[in-house]
Amino acid sequence: MNGFSGTDHQVHNLKQQIAATETQLHSLKLQLQQAEQQAEAARHLSEAYQGGFPAEWMDETLVALQQDVTRDIAQKVRQEGGFEGAPSVRDAAQPRRWPLEKHEYKRYGRQLIMPEVGLHGQLRLKNARVLIVGVGGLGCPAAAYLAGAGVGTLGLMDGDTVEESNLHRQIAHSTARVDMNKTQSAMEYLQSLNPHVNYNRHEFHLTPQKAIQIFEQYDLVLDCTDHPTSRYLISDACILTGKTLVSASALKTEGQLIVLNNPPRPPGDALGGPCYRCIFPKPPPAESVLSCGEGGILGPVVGVMGVLQALEAIKVLTARAQRPANGGDWSTNGATSEAAPKATLLMFSTYNTPQFRSVRLRSRRADCAACSAQSTISRQSLTSGSLDYVAFCGATAPINLLPPASRVTATDFSRLPRDGSNVLIDVRDETQYAICALRGSVNVPWTGSADTWLERALASGLSFGGGRQHFVMCRFGNDSQLAAKAVMERTQTPVAVKDVKGGFKSWRDEVDPSWPDY
């Protein structure tokens, strides 16, 4: 009995060994077949580009091919061994003769034939991951051109929803998508433009806590936001994660563009490009910061700047050289000298001649809080939330200057007699006053200073006397308080003056829904 069971065991063992060897043999045959196909592809490639295909790009292309081949083998072996039931989507028997897909030659052909891009540049774009922070006036055109150019992965970050007042400039959104999250809206546009790009949506505003983890998923970052708070945060996170930053801004009729941390180097390395803090170590006073909603913006102005951001991104991505054989850092083709790289600021001004002007800025600051050897900003200070960017840049609190007795609601104001006993002073600028105004009101635009405004008010024939009640009104109810306060404090005799709370916004909400909402 024991003898039989011993032989059975031996037979069983031999069968197992044969099966294992057969699997191994099969896998080896498969590998041989793939290797032969790969060698053939390389020969084709070599023939196809004979004389015009620099050796360093050849390696890059073959790496792209090899990755596919290895993946196919792995999957095939798993299937043959019964580890994976589903058949492979890609037919491994079909060799990849060309590094790009058939449709890609067609779609990107017009840029592919440019020596600045070429096959190597297109492959780099395809392998690149770009994050666009802010999908508004800058982010929409930037995303459109980067998606069009075939950037492999595009991240879109924005917590805002589309508003009707965005549509004159934010070209990826549409009338039908008002109230939709901007990343969702833009993705619908971009999908129809180029479905071959991998889109990541980050449906929220950037916070210091999330910045590092998200930036690490990308190769390059575009700052398309609209406030100093986010601009400092994005720059700091780019330094900490080693990403080049393409930053642009626009307001009214002007725009500015700057490429930062280019080339990207760790803090303390003078061969890295300067960061936002090197150029602007201190934030501007909060009251000097105007948004597009307050100051206005011409659509093509911000469009030009967003398109330029995409252009700079393409330049940075396609210029990236091979990682040196010694395993050192990436370096760009342009930065051959060992001098500390300086940044360049491109300024666009609609009504200037010339409209574009480029100025030389500084290199890294030796005492920069973010990118110098003495930097105080760390991953820890961001992820822990201990760095307060809002406090750093200063917040403008809603103005509340006047005692309650000196203020009236829009509703109460609308009920006052219109018999000449009341005077309404509208302190919006001339352009806004010409859009819509209340009949009988006097327009004295707020000048930013009590003295000059009072001078202009008196010059417009206002006497602040005669026992008449004066009311001051503006767009949102801030400037009107400043003007009312100026009258109270600077006129010799006591004057009856009140401001209309919430300005014309409240007037529309409470009294006249037809009042233009510009």
Residues of this chain that bind other proteins (CB under 8 A): 134, 136-139, 223-228, 231, 248-252, 254-256, 279-285, 288-292, 295, 297, 302, 305, 342, 345, 347, 349, 352, 357-362, 447-449, 451-452
**CB < 8 Å & 24+ apart, contacts of 121-124:** 121/317, 121/318, 122/150, 123/60, 123/61, 123/64, 123/99, 124/60, 124/317, 124/318, 124/320
Q: Annotated binding residue at 436?
A: no
In one letter, which amino acid is 341?
Answer: P
Residue (138 or 186) nearer to other proteins, CB = 138
∠ at Cα 503 (499, 506), nearest 5°?
A: 120
Q: Annotated binding residue at 103?
A: no
The alpha carbon of 422 is separated from its chain's Cα centroid by a whole number of angstroms, namely 49
Residue (134 or 242) nearer to other proteins, CB = 134
The residue among 58, 379, 97 whose CA lies nearest residue 238 is 379
Q: Annotated binding residue at 166?
A: yes
Paired tokens of 127? 């392998």
CB of 449 to other proteins, least distance (A): 4
Q: Annotated binding residue at 167?
A: yes
CB of 418 to other proteins, least distance (A): 35
Q: Annotated binding residue at 140?
A: no
The residue among 36, 35, 59, 64 whose CA lies nearest residue 49 is 59
The alpha carbon of 39 is separated from its chain's Cα centroid by a whole number of angstroms, namely 42
140, 224, 238, 474: which one is catalytic? 474
Distances (CA, A) of 151 to 313, 316, 394, 405: 10, 12, 37, 60
CB of 252 to other proteins, least distance (A): 7
Residue (109 or 285) nearer to other proteins, CB = 285
Cβ neighbour number for residue 62 with a 10 Å cutoff? 16
- Show Cβ contacts of residue 428 under 8 Å, excluding neighbours closer than 6 positions: 443, 445, 446, 474, 475, 479, 504
Residue (15 or 357) nearer to other proteins, CB = 357
Residue (114 or 290) nearer to other proteins, CB = 290
* DSSP H or E stretch at residue 487: helix 479-490
β-pair type (356-360, 344-349): antiparallel
Q: Annotated binding residue at 275?
A: yes
Q: Annotated binding residue at 460?
A: no
Q: Annotated binding residue at 278?
A: yes
The alpha carbon of 247 is separated from its chain's Cα centroid by a whole number of angstroms, namely 8
CB of 270 to other proteins, least distance (A): 15
Catalytic annotation on 474? yes
**Edge-first strand listing for the sheet containing 407-408:** 407-408, 497-500, 469-473, 422-426, 442-443
Residue (119 or 482) nearer to other proteins, CB = 482
CB of 351 to other proteins, least distance (A): 8
The residue among 350, 375, 192, 210 whose CA lies nearest residue 278 is 375
CB of 400 to other proteins, least distance (A): 21
Residue (304 or 408) nearer to other proteins, CB = 304
DSSP state string for 245-299: EEEEEEEBTEEEEEEESSS---TT-TTSPP-HHHH-SSPPPGGG---HHHH-B-H
The residue among 406, 404, 442 whose CA lies nearest residue 422 is 442
CB of 438 to other proteins, least distance (A): 26
224, 238, 292, 393: which one is catalytic? 292
Q: Annotated binding residue at 238?
A: no
Q: Annotated binding residue at 224?
A: no
Residue (191 or 291) nearer to other proteins, CB = 291
CB of 470 to other proteins, least distance (A): 23
d(CA 307, CA 138): 8
Cβ neighbour number for residue 365 with a 10 Å cutoff? 16
Catalytic annotation on 238? no
**Which parts are annotated binding residues for ATP?**
137, 158, 165-169, 182, 226-227
The annotated binding site for Zn(2+) is made up of: 275, 278, 368, 371
Q: Which residues are catalytic?
A: 292, 474
